[in-house]
Structures are given as structure tokens and as C-alpha cells.
Amino acid sequence: MIREELMDIIAGELRDPRVGLAQVTEVKLAPDLHLAHVYVSVMGNNEEAQQTLKGLIAARGYLRAQLAPRLHLRQVPELRIELDRSEEYAARLDMLLKRDRKRHPEIEDNQKEQADS
């Protein structure tokens, strides 16, 4: 619920010019409910992502204030906003695997033979 509400607030109400196209990909809530790690994916280059992150960090108080009545919470968790780098990591891993397959085509051939038998 926190993720959905944050997405609505960021997309529709936040007026910080630093905040670009950002999507909340995941929210991990601490067991004591006092801290929420908010992972954000940003469209654009690294500089735009950093500017968006700065804008979102600056707006944490506003975001928390908007969450309280929407979620009917007396105490809203502290928001730790971080860039979600999972897509970058996946792309890098994919590139490394492709490069390894080019260097060692015999490994892929062996895997195909084992799958056929």
C-alpha cells in the first residue's frame, strides 16, 4: 500500500523540478515498522537519476505527511529513498554472460548436448 500511495503522490502531487520520471519499484518495511526502504527506478541517465533522488530525499517530509491520512496511520515510517539498480545489474550480468559465451562456445555446445540426451 505504501508503494502505491507513494507512486500516486510522486506522479501527481510532487512539484519539485528535479524529480523526473520516477517509479517506486519496491518498499521494504522494517519489522518494527519504523523504517521503510523505498527503491526508485528513474528514466534517464545517471545525472538525471541523481537529481531525481535528491529531489525525492528533499521531499521525504512531504511524502510522509501525505501518507499518514491516506493509510490511516498514526506513525508513518521514516523513508529511506534509494535508487533501484536491479535493471543495471541485470543488464551487466547479461552482457558478461554473452561475452563469456563468445569466448567459450564449447561450454554452450556441451550444455546443448546434455539437454538433448
- Do both 27 and 64 map to the same domain? yes
> Higher-confidence residue: 87 or 29?
29
**Do 70 and 100 have their domain in common?**
no
State the residue range of the domain holding 44: 2-84
Instruction: Check residue 110 and give its pLDDT.
Output: 59
Q: Is residue 102 domain-shared with residue 116, that is, in the same domain? A: yes
Same domain, yes or no, for 101 and 74? no
Most confident listed range (36-45, 90-99, 102-111): 36-45
Amino acid at 7: M
Amino acid identity of residue 86, one-letter, is S
Structural domain tally of the chain?
2
Same domain, 68 and 94: no
The candidate with the shortest Cα–Cα distance to 80, out of 44, 34, 31, is: 34
Tell whether 58 and 25 lie within a shared domain: yes
Q: From residue 84, how far is each of 14, 37, 38, 111 by CA, in Å? A: 20, 11, 9, 33
Per-residue pLDDT of 15-73, as tens digits, reads 888 898 889 999 999 999 899 999 999 888 889 989 999 999 999 999 999 999 999 98
Q: What is the pLDDT of residue 60?
A: 94
CATH number, domain of 53, equals 3.30.300.20
